Amino acid sequence: TIQIFDCSRLEDGNYYLDMNPGVRCFTAEHKRTLPVAALGVVFYVLALPCYVSVVLVRNRASLYTDRAVFLRYNSLFSRFWSKYWYMEIVGLGKRLAIVCVTTFFSSYPLVIVGLLLVLFVGLAAFSLSHRPFFMGVHNELDAQISGVLVTVLLCGFAFFSSTLSSSGARTACSVLTIGV
C-alpha cells in the first residue's frame, strides 16, 4: 500500500511509480487508487501498530500478573521478559522502517544499505546484550537472522554496484549468500 505513494521523476520531467514505471503519478488513474491505498496505510501501517502500542502501554503494569490481561494479550508480549514488554512494538517499528527505507529511498541504494545496516546491527547488538526473549535460543536466533540479513544486504549491494568484477568474486558472494 505504501508503494503507491513512491514516485520518481524521470528524464521527461514527469513522475512515475517506482514499482511500475508505466504508471504516471498524479494522473486521474493514479489518483483513483490513492484513497484505497490511504485506507490501507491508515489501517495497517498506523492503526494496527498504534492499537498494539496502546494495549501494551495501558496494561504494562499487569501484563504478567493479571490473568485476564495475560490470556487476552499474551501473544503480544509473552515471548519477552517482563522488563522488555515493549519488544513487539520494536518489532513492528523494525518492519515499518524496512518498508519505508526501501520504498522511499529506492533511488538511493547507498542510503538504503546504510540505514538497514544500522537497523539490523543495532537491533542484533541490543538482542545479544540485553537478551529480551524469554527463551535464550530466541536471542541468538534473532541475532543470527540479523547477521544473515546483513550478509545478503551487503552481497546484494556488491552485485548492484558492480564492485565484484571477477567471476570468482561473484561466485564466492553467491555461495556465501546461498550458504547463509
**Which tens digits make up the pLDDT trace of 27-79?**
888 888 889 988 988 888 889 899 999 999 999 999 999 999 999 999 999 99
Q: Positive or negative CA dihedral for 180, 129, 138, 47?
A: negative
pLDDT score recorded for residue 103? 86
Question: Which of 39-43, 109-113, 116-120 ranks highest by mean pLDDT?
Answer: 116-120
pLDDT score recorded for residue 164? 59
pLDDT score recorded for residue 22? 86
Range of weakest confidence among 12-16, 42-46, 87-91, 147-151: 42-46
| Interacting residues of 160 by C-beta distance below 8 A, sequence separation 6+ | 109
Average pLDDT, the chain: 88
Instruction: Select the more confidently predicted residue: 92 or 165.
Output: 92
Proportion of the chain above pLDDT 70, given as a percent:
94
- Pair 89, 52: CB distance under 8 Å: yes
Q: Residue 167 pLDDT more than 90?
A: no
Reference 79, options 132, 144, 125, 146; nearest CA is 132
Between the alpha carbon of residue 33 and those of residues 1, 28, 38, 40, 73, the distances in Å are 10, 9, 9, 11, 35
pTM: 0.77
